[in-house]
Amino acid sequence: MPHRHLPIRASLLLAALVFTMPAWSADPVHKETVELTAGKTVHSVKGKIKGYATAEYTVTGKAGQTLSVTLKTNQPSNYFNIRQPGQDEALFIGSSGGNSYQAKLPADGEYTVQVYLMRNAARRNAVAAYTLDIGLRD
């Protein structure tokens, strides 16, 4: 009776399809390196993010330099975090600290400014248009 094995074959086919499909949960991340030189101490970038997408801007600094970041946005749930190299905790969390940051860098290395939407806006697939100013000076 060949029909007896049909449910097993269908189950195996379904399992094969599930395990070979791409992971749709991967959220898009825009990555950009910010180059600041002696002649250019501020970098401005305009961007847009939607839903759970994020944008990451990296800047290399030295201990004691002052890093300043300002976010101007049309979306009240749009913030940024700053991550320090080799640290688990964020150096700055925008949702609690606001949309501007200025402080001396604690260590040499590559710092990441991550622009994101809070979950309440992200799950509604909201769009944020923003201008991010990143500055570094001695």
Q: What is the pLDDT of residues 72-120, one digit of tens each?
A: 999 999 999 999 988 889 999 999 999 999 999 999 999 999 999 999 9
Distances in Å between the Cα of 1 and the Cα atoms of 8, 79, 85 are 14, 63, 64
Domain ranges of the chain: 29-137
Instruction: Give the three-state DSSP class for 50.
Output: strand
CA neighbor of 51 nearest in space, from 77, 72, 31 = 77
* Two tokens, residue 23: 């992971």
CA–CA distance, 14 with 33 (Å, rounded to integer): 42
Of 99, 116, 112, 129, nearest to 51 by C-alpha is 116
pTM of the model: 0.78
DSSP state of 87: -
Confidence of residue 3 (pLDDT cuts 50, 70, 90): low
Integer Rg of the chain from CA: 22
CA–CA gap between residue 52 and residue 30 (Å, rounded): 12
Cβ atoms of 133 and 80 closer than 8 Å: no
Q: Does domain 29-137 have CATH number 2.60.120.560?
A: no
In angstroms, the CA 63 to CA 106 distance is 5
Q: Whole-number mean pLDDT of the chain?
A: 84
